[in-house]
Structure formats: structure tokens, C-alpha cells
Structure 1
Amino acid sequence: MKKFLNRRNAVLAMVVLIAAAFLGFKSGDDRNFQIAKNLEIFNSIVKELDMFYVDTIDPNKTIREGIDNMLYSLDPYTVYYPENDQDELEMMLKGSYGGIGSIIRYKPELKYTMIVEPYEGMPAAESGLKPGDLLLEIDGKDLKGNSDVSTLLRGQVNTSFKLKVKRPGVKDPLEFTIVRRSIQMPTIPYYAMMDNQVGYINLNSFSGNPSKDFKKAFLDLKKQGITSLVIDIRDNGGGLLEQAVEIANYFLPRGKVIVTTKGKVKQASSTYKTLREPLDLDIPIAVLVNSGTASASEILSGALQDLDRAVIIGNRTFGKGLVQVPRSLPYGGNMKVTTSKYYIPSGRCVQAIDYKHRNEDGSVGTIPDSLTSVFHTAAGREVRDGGGVTPDITIKQERLPNIVYYLLRDDLIFDYATDYCLKHPTIASAEDFKLTDADYEEFKKKVKAADFKYDQQSEKILKTLKEAAEFEGYMSEASDEFKALEKKLNHNLDRDLDYFSKDIKEILALEIVKRYYYKRGAIIEQLKGDKGMEEAVKVLTSPERYKEILTVPVAEKK
């Protein structure tokens, strides 16, 4: 016992000496030591693996995975881009890249990549590529089994290549010579004057220079005689913060603070104000948002809400209040790193997820409403932080039926649209197009012929309930009730195709119109019966209601 006490006292004495030694360091010196120590350990691990691991390791792959996991433990937006993977970063910053301009998708069951959506006016579309084309060869190289065809399609601007494709409905392969161009994604794919002199601008990105296109569209609409404006930024994932400030400036006085960034280092903290004279301070504005509205989109919508300049309509936005900047790394690499949080005019931050305080299992959750704080707009209206931008008018977000998800997953809607285009060289304008009952009957036949199977949530839940009832001993008493319920919930494809025909027809029409009129046509089709747009028109054509929404209720004034 005495020996144990002496040993314990010796250990305690050693711990005290070590603690005293470390306390002698300044906190900065200790931090530098910890970084240097762990870098040396990491370096040694890689060398030991390379020398002794049973199989030969790929240093690029192994270390890249280590880097990616390290960065992801911080947040999903801090990302490393090696020298040979700069296209995505360039796309985010400039909104452009060298390529053919098309969405593609690898089809595992066919082992080939397929053209999904060519962009209007881009090389893929101008060369004649169509959705459904399977990419067989590039410059004679067989693409079967290659799931990374995008790297072959992208390249230096003005370089050309030969592409062989297999087109549905065409017996022999087709060959195209395509010249790569700088692919600039359209930031304003559609704008128009709607009924009641309401202007509409669809803004789908803040990458590149969208403020220039937005200004041009708005001034054109003014010439056409609009008296109010809808800005649609639903599913706009953001981009450049400065572009959001520039567009906000079109409708706000010079000198207004739009956003403030606050970071650990001085250069990460800035205040962004409107620097120019506005285009229009009086036109009524409605902004359409949803859960896909994020980052720079939330700066624009949040600033217009905080300064009582627009009515926000839709669903609560995503809640990304973090700012990233690119940092150069050795050997041509770059890192997009989160350097600060941003705060909109009321002083609130819209960040919804607290990545710093994680659960024990490493997961993160959204900040509960009970922990958010109240802020006030310029007029004194209450707004909250910590969960995106809450709209002034909430539109119920409709969920797609389960059957639609499986029809999309199995490409039955995509394939029907491909067949439809083969039979119809032209269709009515996007505004006038309508899927007929005969068209839908033909689609139903194709679905049945494909032996389509899908999971019904009610069947899954019933199965789980039966298992629980059996485990708890209730099954014998409730067996008749379960049999009756099973009969009612019996899988009936005919019934579901009819019952959910409205939703399915809308998706079918959207896919078909997109084939002929690209993104612009898809937006026109989506606006038909759009509840958010309908609500925006109601508000903008009712000056009294518009003013009431942007004013503090009398009961709240002090």
C-alpha cells in the first residue's frame, strides 16, 4: 500500500511539473506547439503506412480523404480543391467553366453516361445533342463503365473533340464534333411582365455578375410598364455576397448597411453598404423564397425584409449565415474556407446549424426556435435569428406523392418525355402547352408495361405496426382489423395513377416543355398555378395590404 502511495505521489508530482512547464508557455506558443506536434504525427503516420501497410497505398487518395474528413468535421462549406479539380471552384466564383453546357448523369444499369439537360445556346444544344443521348465515345475512347465523363467533356476553351452517341429511336450511332466554350450559366433565365402589370424576374444564382443582368431585365420591364415586381429566388443557393448587395442597392437608398461580416481575423470582418443611387425606391416588391433559398439569397431577401422594402413570401429559407473565401495553397490547390458569419441590417444572423457545438456522436442539429432571439426591422417589426429568413406570408409547402418520387427515380417520366419528343417535332408555346388526357393514358400504359413497382409508406407503416402488435401480444385480438386495413391499403397502381394524376401530369408537362424551351420554358410551366406567385400578385395589387404587412400593427406600437 505504501509503495502504491509513493508511486501515486511520484506520478502526481510529475503531472504538476509538466503542467508548470506548459503554463510557462504563452497560450499562443502552446497552440503552435500543438499544431506542430500533430502535423509531425500525421506526417509519420503517412510514412509508416506507405512503408509497412500490407497493400500499396495511393498517397493522393489516402491523404485527400484525410483532408476531406478533417474539413467536413468543421462545416460542409470548407472544401479543398487540388490543382486538377478547380472547375467547380471556378464555377462557384465566376459562374463559368470550359465545357459543352449540359447536365449529364451516369446510368449504372446501362454503364453509360446520359445527356439529361442541355443548356440553351450552349455547345451541347447547338451541336444537336438531346436528352436521352447515351455517350459512347470521346475521340475514339470507349466510355462504357466510365462514371467520370464530365472531366473529359470539360477542358480548354476553343478545343474540340468528336463525340459518338446512341440516341433512342435511332438505329445507328450519331457523331458530333463539339467545340468547348466558356459555359456561362444564365443567372436570369426568365423575366416577363405578367398580368396586372406585375413584373417577374427569376434570379437563380449570385455567381458571376448577375447584378448586370438583373439591372438590364428590370429596366426592360420598366419600359414595358410594370407597376410592381416579383423577385423569384426559390432554390437559389447563393454565390457572391457583393452581388446580393449590388442588387439590393437597386431598391434602397445610398449609404444603407446591407450586411456585416464578423470573423476571427480583422480582414474577415467588413461592412457592406449601398454605394450607388438606386433604380427605384417606390415600386412595390415581393420576394419568393423557399427552403432552397440560401446564402447570398438570404442576404438579399433578409435585407429587403429588415429594411421593410419588400414582402417576403414562401417558406423559411435554408439558414446559411456563413461566409467563405478562397485561399491559395501549394501545388496549384485552393481551399474555400469559412472565415466569418454575416449579419443583416437588423443585426441578426440567419445561420440555422451550430457546427461548433456538436452532439456526442458528432451530428449537428438546427438551432431550436426557443433559443433564437428577437430583432426588429427598420419599422419595428419583429424578426428572429438562427433559422433562415421567415417569410411575411407563409405558403404551405406541398410534398410530392410517393409514387412521383419512384417514377422519377426509375426514369419513367424522363423516358416518356424522350419518346414524346420523337413523335412531336414541335409543340405549342410554353405558355400554351397542355398535356392531354390521351397523352396521360399513353403514359399510364408505358408505366404498366414497365412492370413498375414502388413502396407505399402506408404499407411500410402497417407492417411495422403489425410487428409491434405481435410483439406486445395484441395481434390475436386485432387480426380482423388488420386484415380489413390491409385490404383497403392494397397496392393498386391503376388507382394511384388516377388519384395522383394532377401531380404526375405537372411533372410530365415540365419535363416535356423543358425539352423544347429549356430552362425558360420550365419556369413558365412551373408558374402555372404557382401558389407563391398567386399570393405575390394578390399582395402587390392591393396597396392597403402591402402597406399593412410592412407596418408594425397598432397594438404592438409603444
Structure 2
Amino acid sequence: MHIKSYKRLMIAVLTAFILIAATKSDDDYFEISKNLRIMSSVYEKLNGFYVDEVLPGKVMKTGINAMLKSLDPYTVYISESEIEDFRFATTGEYGGIGATIKIKEDQVIVSELYKNSPASKSKLQPGDQIIDIDGIKLKGKTLDEVGNLLKGAAGSQTLLRIKRKGNTIEKKIVREDIQIPAVTFSKMISEQTGIIKLSSFTQTSSKEFKEALVKLQEKNIKKLIIDLRSNGGGLLNEAVKIVNLFVDKGQLVVSTKSRIKEMNRSYLTQELPLAKEMPIAVLIDEMSASASEIVAGSIQDMDRGVVIGNTSFGKGLVQQTKQVSFGGQIKLTVAKYYTPSGRCIQKLDYSTGINSNTIADSLVQEYRTQNGRVVTDSRGIEPDVSIDPSYYSTLTEKLLFDDYVFDFANNIIDEISDSINPSTFEISDSMYRQFCNYILTQEIKYETASNRLLESLKEAAIKEELLKENMTIFVKLDSVFKTNIERDLDKYQEEIKFFLENEIISRKHFHSGRIEAALKYDSCVIKAQDILNTDSIYNFILGKK
């Protein structure tokens, strides 16, 4: 069975062996030779004697994935069929209709639209159920499968059959090149302060960021907040270019070090800055990673701005992609990066494989910023000013994650004016009562942490034969900690209203509307404005004399 496939596989293995061996010492040559022969022999036996038919491509891809996974989570094989998704990750561009979807109870639901996208222009709406695409029924399909059906070359047409409030509608949509913006929001938020929200580091990030900064400067901003929260990173060069907007030409932003000499590089700023003297605050959180940490870390090390928020993710590794046979690529870790003070902020040690460990406290070293402030390595970027993360009630989380807020917005959105202002819109008390009445008809069950602890205490009391004699106490505790949805809808009204307003605003002003609406409640943004507006505090944090 599959003799030709086996021969092709062995030719590929031997070719790889020759290429690798050409760059290795005699000892490595022997070890590579031995293990490739073992792999060849194992596959030969599988091919000849395994009880079921062996699919060569599937087996080998599983083996490759397992091999790379043993190194670190960032070293991966990208097959030819996955190249388009990888390209999207680096460019932010794809051919499609410009809508996000989710699966709910085996139904494909439109969850959000991109501004000025084909989906938006065709009046597709969040909450629409997509029944089929070009005659292909979607029941039972995965998100990836549905996504692939929606994607296609710009200019091509797709026919969607959707269900909306019990009615079936057909939508003909012409696909376009969809560019997901790296800068998802920028605005002047006070007389002197602007904010730029950067969501990714793709090929257009520095260009978009510069354009946003120039527009804000034209409005005479004197201070800037750079929001890198939930930005998982991307292209290193784009991070360097963004830092360059705020520091002199010729400044070291980041350096990379590797066992391969050619990978050892220093990245210096190449242009004159646009805002050399402008006070800045950089917002980070635990999801700010990689290129985000390069920006935040270099700004911190140069004492160029104040870093505010929560400790970042801690990814101090650099990846590159290399072409492999048959149109695939391998993205592999080639170096560690170091901020200007000389620290590597990588939190996890992968030197022993995927079963990583946090680097021990005893190995953490101190470094100094330009003004002499102490910073450390191996712990991500620790903010200059920490902000306690926000936590929401169990009921609020239930209403969000189970789409009760989403569904309610679908039901009442026609009652909302298109001209609502994201900064000032608030739902009325009567609309909130309408929402509460809707929720009370849904038979929602939820459990708080207090409930769970009380149940654990009861179980322990039963085992220790203490429940009966303390029944009065447990009855009292039950009355205190029992979930009461009417009480909780009133108690947590403020946070529930926030999410209702945010969902409604997104239908009229898209994702940027969500961000704008959240600003007035955002503790990191509020703190950043306070610091930027008080020169003495700003200078004190940065260690300026």
C-alpha cells in the first residue's frame, strides 16, 4: 500500500538529511543520520504492517508537530494550506465579507461587523443566523469551515441565506480585500491629551500609528496615551519604528542574541522623532506580549514615558519563518531579545522543552534605566504604576458569556437612534427594567464562589457529623449566600448597564465605538490622565531630578 508515497517520503527525508548534514559536525552528522534512519524504519514498518491504512501526510504532520511542540509553543510548521491564515496574521488582510461569527447551539451567528465592510454595506446584522453559504448548509460545520466558505478573492460574489427574527432572507455580497486596522481607535480625549489604541503589530502598524499621531498633533495635543493592552505582538521592526516616533535617531531600542552569530543584531532608530518631548503613558496588561513588550520595555528603560497597568505576558523570544519543501514554512524561535537596559523579559524557561518552568526568583537580575530606576528581567514588563484588575459578578459574566446581553441588544436595536454618541449614551431606567423582565423569563441558573464554598463546608460538616447540630447556622448562611437573581440584577446594575450600553453602541459605531464608550470607566486611562496632567508626579515616577 502507498509504495509511491513511501518512496516520496524517503526521498524528502534523505534530501533534508543531506542539507542538514552539510552544516553540522561529524558527531551531529552521525546523530542526525541515525535518527533519520530510525524514523524511516519506523514508518516503513507502520506502512507495511499496521492494522489500518496509514495516511502518510497525516502521520508525518502529527510527528512534525509533536517534535516542534517539544521545543516551545512558538515553533510551528505551517503547511501550504495554512499559509493564507499565516499571511493574515502578519498583514491583517484577507479576502472576505468583513464579519465575525460564532457558533451557538449548532447555529452560525453573526457576532460583529467591520466598519465599511461588504457585510455592513449589505445590511447584515449581528444576531443574524447564517443558514447556508452558496447553497452549502452550515449545520454541523466548525468555525474554521464556515470562515473558509466566507473568504474568497476580492470581487467574487457569495450568496448567504440568513434567518432574522423568524424571517428567511437572502443576501448577495461581493467580497473585498478586508484590512483589519492595527490602530483600532485614536481620539483627543481632553483639551491636551490624545489616545491611540494599537491592537497588533502587522506590516502597516507603524504607518497607521504615525498617521494617527500626526492627526492628533494637528489638534494640538500635548500628551499621549498609548494603549497596548491585549496586543499580542507581531513584527519586531514595526515596534522599533513606533518607538522611533518618540526618541532621537540612533537610539538602541532592542537587541537580539542567538547561538547563531548572524541572528545577533542591534535595532537602532533610523529617523528623526515626531514627538520627542511629548509626555507619554503606555498601558499594558497580562495579554500585552512580544512587540508590545519591546515598545513598553524600551520606553521604560529610556525613561521616556510612564508604564501603567498590569505586568505583561513575558515573551522575550524572536521568531522567523523559513521556507520548507512543498510550499510550507516553519516558524521557529531564533533568538531572545533584550531591551535597552540589557534585560530579557522572558518569563518561562523552555530550555528543557515544552514543560516549561517560571524562571526562579534567585536567577532574576536587576538592571537600571537611564535615570537609574531599578527594573528586572525574567518577569515580563512590570508597570511603573500598577492598577488593580477589574472583576465582575458571576451574574454579569453569565449574562455576557451566555449571550443574554447580545440577544437583548438584537431585540431592541431597532428602537435605538443611529445618531447616539458613544461617549455619552446611557440606557434609560425603563430599558434596564425591560432587560430585567426579559432575564427573569429565562430561568437562568448561576453559582457564586460563596455558594461553592458553602456547599464544600456542608460536605465537610456531613463527613464530620457536625451538620445536624449546626443546622440553624447553615440555614442562616443559606439565606445569606443563596443566589437571588432579582437582588443581583439590582445590586450589579451599574456594571450590567455598562455592558448593555457597550453592546448597543457597537451596533451603531462598530468596534471603535465600544472602545470610546469604555473610556469614561477605564481605570487605567483615568490614572494615565491624572499622571500626565501632574508634571511633578510624572517626573517623580521617571526618576527625573
TM score, norm. by length of structure 1? 0.89
- Against the structure 1 CA distance between its residues 118 and 342, is the aligned structure 2 distance closer, same or farther, given a 3 Å change threshold? same
- Tell me which residue corresponds to 2:424: 432
Listed as ranges, the matches of 1:34-433 within 5 Å are 34-107=31-104, 109=105, 111-147=106-142, 148-167=145-164, 169-171=165-167, 173-357=168-352, 363-424=355-416, 426-433=418-425
Question: Which shifted more, 505-514 or 31-40?
Answer: 31-40
One-letter code aligned to 1:299 = I
One-letter code aligned to 1:104 = I
Partner secondary structure for residue 200 of structure 1:
strand
Partner secondary structure for residue 192 of structure 1:
strand
Q: Deviations over 1:307-326 (max 9, x none)?
A: 00001111111111111111
Partner secondary structure for residue 375 of structure 2:
strand
Task: Check the 8 A contact 1:161/1:178 in 2, yes or no.
Answer: yes
Separation in 2, partners of 1:479, 1:201: 58
Separation in 2, partners of 1:75, 1:328: 19
Q: CA deviation at 1:279?
A: 0.9
Partner secondary structure for residue 98 of structure 1:
strand
Q: CA deviation at 1:532?
A: 0.8
One-letter code aligned to 2:317 = L
Separation in 1, partners of 2:96, 2:57: 26
Separation in 1, partners of 2:361, 2:219: 44
Partner secondary structure for residue 140 of structure 2:
coil
Q: CA deviation at 1:30?
A: 3.1
Question: Which shifted more, 150-159 or 299-308?
Answer: 150-159
Task: Check the 8 A contact 2:446/2:483 in 1, yes or no.
Answer: no
TM score, norm. by length of structure 2? 0.91
Q: CA deviation at 1:87?
A: 2.2
Question: Which shifted more, 205-214 or 120-129?
Answer: 120-129
Separation in 1, partners of 2:52, 2:397: 42
- Against the structure 1 CA distance between its residues 483 and 371, is the aligned structure 2 distance closer, same or farther, given a 3 Å change threshold? farther
- Against the structure 1 CA distance between its residues 492 and 50, is the aligned structure 2 distance closer, same or farther, given a 3 Å change threshold? farther
One-letter code aligned to 1:106 = I
Q: CA deviation at 1:512?
A: 1.2
One-letter code aligned to 1:387 = R
Q: CA deviation at 1:425?
A: 5.2
Q: Which runs of 5+ in 1 are unaligned?
A: 1-25, 554-558
Partner secondary structure for residue 410 of structure 2:
helix
* Match for residue 501 of structure 2 among 490, 501, 509: 509
- Against the structure 1 CA distance between its residues 330 and 137, is the aligned structure 2 distance closer, same or farther, given a 3 Å change threshold? same
Q: CA deviation at 1:525?
A: 1.0
Partner secondary structure for residue 136 of structure 1:
strand
Q: CA deviation at 1:427?
A: 4.9
Listed as ranges, the matches of 1:512-523 within 5 Å are 512-523=504-515
Q: CA deviation at 1:225?
A: 1.1
- Tell me which residue corresponds to 1:5: none
Partner secondary structure for residue 509 of structure 2:
helix
Separation in 1, partners of 2:348, 2:79: 28
Question: Which shifted more, 483-492 or 248-257?
Answer: 483-492
* Match for residue 486 of structure 1 among 462, 466, 478: 478
One-letter code aligned to 1:439 = M
Q: CA deviation at 1:281?
A: 1.3
- Tell me which residue corresponds to 1:6: none
Partner secondary structure for residue 88 of structure 2:
helix
One-letter code aligned to 1:34 = E
One-letter code aligned to 2:395 = I
One-letter code aligned to 1:493 = I
Separation in 2, partners of 1:134, 1:244: 39
Separation in 1, partners of 2:141, 2:500: 30
Separation in 2, partners of 1:67, 1:122: 38
Partner secondary structure for residue 126 of structure 2:
coil
- Against the structure 1 CA distance between its residues 149 and 481, is the aligned structure 2 distance closer, same or farther, given a 3 Å change threshold? same
Q: CA deviation at 1:501?
A: 1.7
Separation in 2, partners of 1:129, 1:27: 58
Separation in 2, partners of 1:126, 1:379: 53
Task: Check the 8 A contact 2:520/2:526 in 1, yes or no.
Answer: no
Partner secondary structure for residue 481 of structure 1:
helix
- Tell me which residue corresponds to 2:20: none
Q: CA deviation at 1:480?
A: 3.5
Partner secondary structure for residue 286 of structure 1:
strand
User: After TM superposition, what 4+ stretches of structure 1 lie above 6 angstroms from structure 2?
Assistant: none
- Against the structure 1 CA distance between its residues 154 and 356, is the aligned structure 2 distance closer, same or farther, given a 3 Å change threshold? same
Q: CA deviation at 1:155?
A: 2.3
* Match for residue 454 of structure 2 among 438, 449, 462: 462
Q: CA deviation at 1:146?
A: 1.4
Separation in 1, partners of 2:227, 2:319: 24
Partner secondary structure for residue 149 of structure 1:
helix
Q: Deviations over 1:321-377 (max 9, x none)?
A: 11111111111111211111110001111111112246xxx6434335453211110
Separation in 2, partners of 1:299, 1:500: 38
- Tell me which residue corresponds to 2:444: 452
Task: Check the 8 A contact 2:300/2:306 in 1, yes or no.
Answer: yes
Question: Which shifted more, 66-75 or 363-372?
Answer: 363-372
Separation in 1, partners of 2:181, 2:535: 33
Q: Deviations over 1:172-231 (max 9, x none)?
A: x22222222222111112211121311111111111211111111111111111111111
Partner secondary structure for residue 506 of structure 1:
helix
Separation in 1, partners of 2:186, 2:523: 18
Separation in 1, partners of 2:356, 2:170: 49
Q: Which runs of 5+ in 2 are unaligned?
A: 1-22
Separation in 2, partners of 1:381, 1:501: 43
Task: Check the 8 A contact 2:424/2:517 in 1, yes or no.
Answer: no
- Against the structure 1 CA distance between its residues 474 and 269, is the aligned structure 2 distance closer, same or farther, given a 3 Å change threshold? farther
Q: Deviations over 1:4-29 (max 9, x none)?
A: xxxxxxxxxxxxxxxxxxxxxx9943
Task: Check the 8 A contact 1:192/1:201 in 2, yes or no.
Answer: yes
Q: CA deviation at 1:250?
A: 0.7
